[in-house]
Structure 1
């Protein structure tokens, strides 16, 4: 009898626990988060963590992908119930809140969104796709300019998220988001 099924299921559970624990620890204010801390919280050894995530950045990207999936679904819901400009504002605010709560991910996130070999990162492309949906919907409903590159908006958003990530800068980040959105509104 083969044991491939249970082992795979067990490996999948380990991976899911590692991502869930990393997500929780990255959101905590307990200082730097080590890979050892994540493995221990997930109830696995460091070797198991490294089998699933050979680098810290790969683990951060897995956590980030999970959040982007949720934010992607949120974009659809917002566009279904609001004007594109209102939907975009809510989504951008949600995105900034997500980044602000993941203190321990800041450096790895910076690496993850930086273009490599003149190609945008997967994370940045995903954000561009969502922003592009808002811009297209805004062009159609007349609430957002249709002559703006999604990557320009993404770059502004990411710059705000990474530069003003302290709790004391929440008000400044909201003001900057307001300025970005004012520039995107159809006049």
Structure 2
């Protein structure tokens, strides 16, 4: 088990991953009644612990479950829930489906980009926010809408973005 892992992120900054995270994941895996068929379950738990699934964490899981690193990476890259890049504490999903787009989702997205000073798909330097666009969340009657973690905001106007962000900036 690595003493401390230094992960190079897309901005080329290296961030340490504490050994305790690996120990927590190892304890979880050791507590499973069987390892067979547990890859997705372990990946969910690992992402909860680490916040994302960098390559070294994927290889650690592969070794512990007795599968190839390619198999683990294949699952991580197939399912959109999993991420190989760090996400912010708050993930802002702006719906850009047809109903939301027609009602101004693009202006809301632009406002978030301006206020957070990041592009879609990026995370703020302090790892507080990640901004994403999603095709449809199935709540067209609330268009345009955003979802921050599990909280839904419907009929959002661009001028409300600053107030929404202030709820998360304490």
How would you bin the TM-score normalised by the shorter chain?
A: 0.3 to 0.5
Structure 1 or 2: more helix by fraction: 1
- Higher relative contact order, structure no. (Cα contacts within 8 Å, ≥ 6 residues apart): 1
TM-score between the two structures when normalised by the length of structure 1: 0.30
TM-score between the two structures when normalised by the length of structure 2: 0.32
Structure 1 or 2: more strand by fraction: 2
